[in-house]
């Protein structure tokens, strides 16, 4: 299966700790997205990359959040000094946009973060 993978699937941490999540997109996809989903809500955009360039960051992405995609392949999302409000499902998606076609983003299974 060559779908989008995310690691870890679950993370429990104490408030104030740093956490890092990894996303491996579908290999030929040049765009990679991070979303956050909280209970009862749809996924909310955080940031996206085209190859290694981070093209946009949501205002939801505070200074404590940083994302990288150093070689244009996998990506990491780091949250520093976690807060209880950071508890959510963090979803990664990738796409290979085709001109004139819908932007079908393929999502990974997500990393569920719980901050105690």
Question: Binding residues for other proteins, per CB under 8 A?
Answer: 4, 31, 33, 35, 40-45, 48, 56, 58, 91, 93, 95, 97, 102-110
Provide the minimum distance between the beta carbon of 80 and other proteins in the complex, in angstroms, as a whole number. 23
Q: How far is the CB of 53 from other proteins (least distance, A)?
A: 14
| Closest CB to other proteins among residues 40, 85 | 40
Q: Which is nearer to other proteins, 82 or 95 (CB)?
A: 95
CB nearer to other proteins: pick between 82 and 105: 105
Identity of the residue, 20 or 58, whose beta carbon is nearer to other proteins in the bound complex: 58
CB of 41 to other proteins, least distance (A): 6
Minimum separation from the CB atom of position 81 to other proteins (A):
26
Pairing relation of β-strands 10-13 and 111-115?
A: parallel
Among candidate residues 92, 111, 113, 77, the one with its CA nearest the CA of residue 9: 111
């Amino acid at each position: 299966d060559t779908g989008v993978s995310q690691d870890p699937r679950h993370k429990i941490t104490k408030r104030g700790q740093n956490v890092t999540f990894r996303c491996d997109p579908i290999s030929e996809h040049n765009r990679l997205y991070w979303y956050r989903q909280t209970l009862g809500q749809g996924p909310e955009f955080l940031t996206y990359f085209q190859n290694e360039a981070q093209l946009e960051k949501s205002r939801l992405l505070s200074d404590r959040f940083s994302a990288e995609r150093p070689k244009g392949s996998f990506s990491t999302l780091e949250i520093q000094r976690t807060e209880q409000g950071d508890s959510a499902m963090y979803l990664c998606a990738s796409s290979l946009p085709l001109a004139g076609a819908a932007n079908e983003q393929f999502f990974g299974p997500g990393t569920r973060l719980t901050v105690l």
